[in-house]
Chains A and B, each alone.
Chain A
Amino acid sequence: MNYLFEPGFFSSSPVHIAVVVGAVSALVSGIVGVFTVMRGQSFAGHALTDVATTGGSGAFFFNFSPLVGFLGAGVLGASAMDLVGVERLRGRDIATGIVLGFATGLAALFLYLDATKNATTGVSQQILFGSIFTLDPTTIPLVVVMSVITLGVLTLIYRPLLLSSISPDLAAARGIRVRVVGVLFMLTLAVAVGLSSIAIGSVLSTALLIGPAATALRVTRNLRAALVVASVLGVVATWLGIVLAYDSFYWFPSSQGLPVSFFIVALIFLGYLLSGLPALRRRTSSPVAAEPTREPVGAAA
C-alpha cells in the first residue's frame, strides 16, 4: 500500500478536496457525457469548453471564483447555441470556430490582465489545465449543489430525454416537449462542462465529458449499463490520477510533480484505447461500417 500512496496522501486536506470534487465532477460528466454522445452533440460539448475558458478567465479577472465563471459562461453559451440552433447550421464549423476564436482571444486578454493587474501567478495554468489541488474549499458546496441539481434534473427528464434523443419526431408525437427537453439538456451539459473544467481545466475538460462516455458506449449497448460504466470509469480515472499526481512529486528531483489533469486525461485515453480490444468490444450485429462514397466537401456536414 505504501508503494502506491506516498507519505501524507491520506491526511492531506487538498487531497480530500480533490477527491471529493473530482469524483463528483467525473460522475456528472460521465452521465451527461453518455447522453451527449448519444445525441450526437459532442460538437456542442466541445464548443462549450472554449466558452468555459473565457468564462473562467474572465471570472478570475473580475474576482469571482473560476467555477462561477465556468458555469456562468457555460450556461450563457448553451442558451445562445440553443437559440441559434447551431447544430443545424450549414458551415457551422467555420462560424462557430470564428466565434470561439474570438472567445479564446478574449480569454487570453483576461488572463494577461489578471497576471498584470492582480499580480497573481499561475492563472493560465489554473484555468486552462486545472487546479484541483489548490481549490478553494468554499467552492465545494457550489460543486455539490450544482451536481445534485443536475442529476436531479436528469432523473426527472430521463424518459423524455431518452426518447427525444432516439427519435425526436416520435417523442413529439407522444406529447413530449422536445424543445424544452433539449434546452434543459443543454443546461446540464453546461454544468457538466463547468464541473469538469474545475477538475481538469477548461482546455482539457472535453476528455472527462466525452472520454468515459465514448468508452462505455463501445463496451455496452445497454444505456443504464453505459451510464454506470461511464461514471465508474470517470471516477476511477480521476482518483487514480490524483494518486499518481500526488506521488509524482516524489518521482523527479525537481520535486515539481506532473499535473493531475495530465494523468486523468492519459488514463481516460488509455481506457478508451483498451476498450478497443476484441475481448471487450460489444458484439455488434451490424455489418461492416460502410464508408459512403466520397462526399465533396461542399456537401452539408
Chain B
Amino acid sequence: MSDVAAVAPVLDVDHVSVSFGGRTILDQVSFAVHRGEFTGLIGANGTGKTTLLRSILGLQRLDGGEIRVEGESLSRHNHPLGYVPQKVLLDPDIPMRARDFVALGLDADRFGFSRRTPAQRARVEEILRDVDAERFADSRVGSLSGGEQQRVLIAHALVSEPALLLLDEPLANLDPKSVQEIVALLHRVASEHHVAVLLSAHEMNALLPVMDRIVYITNGRAASGTTDEVVRSEVLSALYGHHVDVLKLHGRVLVVAEPGQDDAEIPEHPTLTVN
C-alpha cells in the first residue's frame, strides 16, 4: 500500500458515461489511479470493463464526463500508456523474436528502420529480466505459450516507461499457479517501476493480497476505494440495485445475491466497436 494521496493521479476517470446501441454501458463512472498503485477493475462479463478500458485508451467516444491522463485530457497523440490486450495469440510463422517484439515497444511509432543504441538494448534486457522472459527471449513470439506471450506483451508495454499499464483480463485463461505468478509480477512492476497498474478481471480473489484499490463495476455503475471500503454489503447492494451479501471466508470473498435474484438478470451486451 503506497502513500500517494498527495500526489496527482496518473489516471483520472471523471463521471464518464458511454452509451451505444440504445443502451447505457457506463454510467457516471469515477475513480483515480496513482503511480505505484495496483488497481483491479472487477466485474462480470458484459458489465462495461472493456468499454471502460477502451475509453481510457482513447478508442471509445465518451457521451459524458472526462478522462485525464497525467493531468491532461486524452488525445491520441499523447500516450504514456502501456496496454496488454486480451487473448492475443500470435502466429508461430511470424518472423520476430520475443526480444525484438519488446524492442519494438520503444519505437514502433517512428518511421524507417530501427537503429538501436546500446542504452536501448540494455533497457530491453532489463525489462526482459524483470518479467522473467529472458529464457525465451530469442524464440519466435508466436511459438511461445499463452502465458509466455503475455509476459512478452507486458514487457513490450513497459519498455517505453509508461505512467500507466492497462491489462484487459490478463488472468482469464491461466491456470491458478500462473495466475499467482502474473499477479506477483504485476505487483512488483507497480512498486518497483513506479507504474500505475490497472487490470480488469471478473474474479477478485486472486488479487486481494496485492490490490491497493478496487473499482467494482456492475451494470455500468462503479464504486471505487480500498477493498475494505468497497467490498461491503451496503456498497455493493447499492451498486447492484438489489440486496447482496458479502461473505468473507479464509481470506476469500464471495458476493452472493439473495435467492430469487441472480446475476443472470444483469443483461449481457455485445461488444460493439465504434469507429
Give residues in A with beta carbon < 8 Å to B: 90-91, 287-288, 290-294, 296-300
Contact code string B107-122 (vs A, CB < 8 Å = 1, else 0) = 0000000000000000
| Nearest-neighbor residue (CB-CB) of A296 within chain B | B88
The secondary-structure label for the interface of chain A is loop
The reply to whether B270 and A287 form a contact with Cβ atoms under 8 Å apart is yes
The secondary-structure label for the interface of chain B is loop
Choice from A90, A288, A294, A300 contacting B272 with Cβ under 8 Å: A288
With a cutoff of 8 Å between Cβ atoms, the chain A residues found around residue B89 in the complex are 296, 298-300
The reply to whether B271 and A298 form a contact with Cβ atoms under 8 Å apart is no
Max chain B Cβ within 10 angstroms of own Cβ: one of A292, A296, A297: A296
The residues in B between 72 and 123 inclusive whose CB is less than 8 angstroms from any CB of A are 85, 88-91, 93-94
What is the bound-complex CA distance between A293 and B271, given in angstroms?
8
With a cutoff of 8 Å between Cβ atoms, the chain B residues found around residue A90 in the complex are 91
A89 to chain B, nearest CB (A): 12
The residues in B between 170 and 224 inclusive whose CB is less than 8 angstroms from any CB of A are none
The reply to whether B271 and A299 form a contact with Cβ atoms under 8 Å apart is no
The reply to whether B91 and A299 form a contact with Cβ atoms under 8 Å apart is yes
Max chain B Cβ within 10 angstroms of own Cβ: one of A90, A298, A299, A300: A298
Choice from A290, A296, A297 contacting B271 with Cβ under 8 Å: A290
The reply to whether A291 and B94 form a contact with Cβ atoms under 8 Å apart is no
With a cutoff of 8 Å between Cβ atoms, the chain B residues found around residue A298 in the complex are 89-91, 94, 142
| Nearest-neighbor residue (CB-CB) of B94 within chain A | A298
Contact code string B220-252 (vs A, CB < 8 Å = 1, else 0) = 000000000000000000000000000000000
Q: How large is the interface on B (under 10, 10 to 19, 20 to 34, 35 or more residues)?
A: 10 to 19
Choice from B88, B90, B142, B272 contacting A290 with Cβ under 8 Å: B272
The reply to whether A291 and B273 form a contact with Cβ atoms under 8 Å apart is yes
Q: What are 13 A-B pairs at a CB distance below 8 A?
A: A290-B270, A291-B272, A291-B273, A292-B271, A293-B50, A293-B85, A294-B273, A298-B89, A298-B90, A298-B91, A298-B94, A299-B88, A299-B89
Residue B267, interface by CB 8 Å: no
Contact code string B245-275 (vs A, CB < 8 Å = 1, else 0) = 0000000000000000000000000111100
The reply to whether A297 and B272 form a contact with Cβ atoms under 8 Å apart is no
The reply to whether A91 and B270 form a contact with Cβ atoms under 8 Å apart is no
| Nearest-neighbor residue (CB-CB) of B270 within chain A | A290
| Nearest-neighbor residue (CB-CB) of A297 within chain B | B91
| Nearest-neighbor residue (CB-CB) of A299 within chain B | B89
A97 to chain B, nearest CB (A): 14
The reply to whether B21 and A288 form a contact with Cβ atoms under 8 Å apart is yes
| Nearest-neighbor residue (CB-CB) of A298 within chain B | B91
Max chain A Cβ within 10 angstroms of own Cβ: one of B50, B90, B91: B91
The reply to whether A296 and B90 form a contact with Cβ atoms under 8 Å apart is yes
Contact code string B48-63 (vs A, CB < 8 Å = 1, else 0) = 0010000000000000
What is the bound-complex CA distance between A296 and B142, given in angstroms?
12
What is the bound-complex CA distance between A293 and B59, given in angstroms?
11
What is the bound-complex CA distance between A112 and B147, given in angstroms?
54
B46 to chain A, nearest CB (A): 13
What is the bound-complex CA distance between A297 and B94, given in angstroms?
10
Max chain B Cβ within 10 angstroms of own Cβ: one of A91, A288, A293: A293
With a cutoff of 8 Å between Cβ atoms, the chain B residues found around residue A300 in the complex are 89
